[in-house]
């Protein structure tokens, strides 16, 4: 079994503006795919879905794994998903060492005000 380690930093500014891009089109915002050149048959995307409006909304966050096998396969991938708020780490999800659906690893909902101090207007 091969083990690889990757880290992605994905900064989303103007979080309240997601309201315009996600709620209206019912789509999911996802990061650029990332992978290791040592194991190019597997890639990941960090995904965000916003439910609700303004600061009273919930953000759904998960990691999507593409490969090495079929879609909707069960995998055991180690990961940690967190946000930075006012220079402090807010843990959102981490692996459980149990098999999970590769489409929604760590699927978790978290209140917007817990992860963002963004004051920009939509």
pLDDT digits (tens, 9 = 90+) for 54-75: 666 788 899 998 887 777 778 8
Beta strands in the chain (DSSP E): 29-30, 34-35, 43-51, 58-66, 74-75, 80-85, 88-94, 100-101, 105-111
What's the Cα-to-Cα distance from 5 to each of 26, 44, 70, rounded to whole Å? 32, 12, 22
3 found inside a domain: no
Domain that holds residue 78: 15-115
35 found inside a domain: yes
Report the number of distinct structural domains present in the chain.
1
2 found inside a domain: no
Torsion, CA 19, CA 22, CA 26, CA 32, rounded to 10: -170
7 found inside a domain: no
pLDDT digits (tens, 9 = 90+) for 72-111: 778 888 889 988 888 888 999 998 888 888 899 999 998 8
Query: How would residue 21 be classed by pLDDT, with cut points 50, 70 and 90?
Result: low
26 found inside a domain: yes
pLDDT digits (tens, 9 = 90+) for 111-120: 887 887 754 4
Helix (H) or strand (E) holding 112: helix 112-115
């Amino acid at each position: 079994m091969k083990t690889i380690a990757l880290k992605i930093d994905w900064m989303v500014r103007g979080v309240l503006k997601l309201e315009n891009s996600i709620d209206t089109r019912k789509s999911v915002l996802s990061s650029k795919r990332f992978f290791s050149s040592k194991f190019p048959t597997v890639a990941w995307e960090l995904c965000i879905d916003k439910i609700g409006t303004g600061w009273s909304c919930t953000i759904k966050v998960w990691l999507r794994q593409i490969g090495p096998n079929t879609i909707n396969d069960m995998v055991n991938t180690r990961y940690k998903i967190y946000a930075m708020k006012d220079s402090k780490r807010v843990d959102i999800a981490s692996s459980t060492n149990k098999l999970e659906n590769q489409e929604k690893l760590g699927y978790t909902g978290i209140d917007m005000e817990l992860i963002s101090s963004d004051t920009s207007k939509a």
